Homo-oligomer: A and B are copies of this chain.
């Protein structure tokens, strides 16, 4: 509860945060939509798969890494599956589990669009910053992540059902 309001400096930071948090996704979505017809959330999923062993991951693992709820990921993957970029397989070890697998078409899309995406990220976020500012930004963000998600579990749903 502490003090009631933000101080002057915090207010400026907060407004800048709101603006950047609104603008950056817009810029990236626009680039990805134009170049590959996919959303940023979908791109992150494809990118995570492209880095994974066997180009595949369990849905829950993928959801955690892509910062998406399981439900959202399920829909996202369903759309990617419709477009033939991803395929789903039931897990062998655990019959509940589902594996998302990047198809060859999906791989091609990632390869084709990644460089432009990286350029867009750099242009939007890193180019304006000095080395020192970039480092400081990273440090601050990592501290915040640590607070918001202490055990790096990002359990989005079913999470902490204490009060009820």
Chain A interface (Cβ within 8 Å of chain B)? 1-2, 4-6, 9-10, 12-14, 16-27, 44, 67-68, 115, 118-119, 121-122, 124-129, 133-149, 154, 156
- Copies of this chain, complex-wide, total 2
Q: Is the Cβ of A17 less than 8 Å from the Cβ of B125?
A: yes
Min CB gap A60→B, angstroms: 16
Q: Is the Cβ of B23 less than 8 Å from the Cβ of A149?
A: yes
Min CB gap A149→B, angstroms: 7
Partner of A18, one of B20, B26, B44, B119: B44
Q: Is the Cβ of A138 less than 8 Å from the Cβ of B13?
A: yes
Q: Is the Cβ of A67 less than 8 Å from the Cβ of B22?
A: yes
Q: Is the Cβ of A24 less than 8 Å from the Cβ of B24?
A: no
In the bound complex, residues from chain B placing their C-beta under 8 Å from that of A121 are 6, 14
Q: How far is the CA of A19 from the CA of B24 in the complex (A)?
A: 14
In the bound complex, residues from chain B placing their C-beta under 8 Å from that of A127 are 147
4 tightest A-B CB contacts, nearest first: A13-B138, A16-B141, A136-B136, A128-B147
User: Given contacts A17-B24, A133-B140, could you give 14 more A-B pairs where the C-beta distance is less than 8 Å?
Assistant: A2-B122, A5-B118, A6-B118, A6-B121, A6-B122, A16-B142, A17-B125, A19-B145, A21-B25, A27-B148, A124-B148, A125-B144, A133-B143, A134-B140
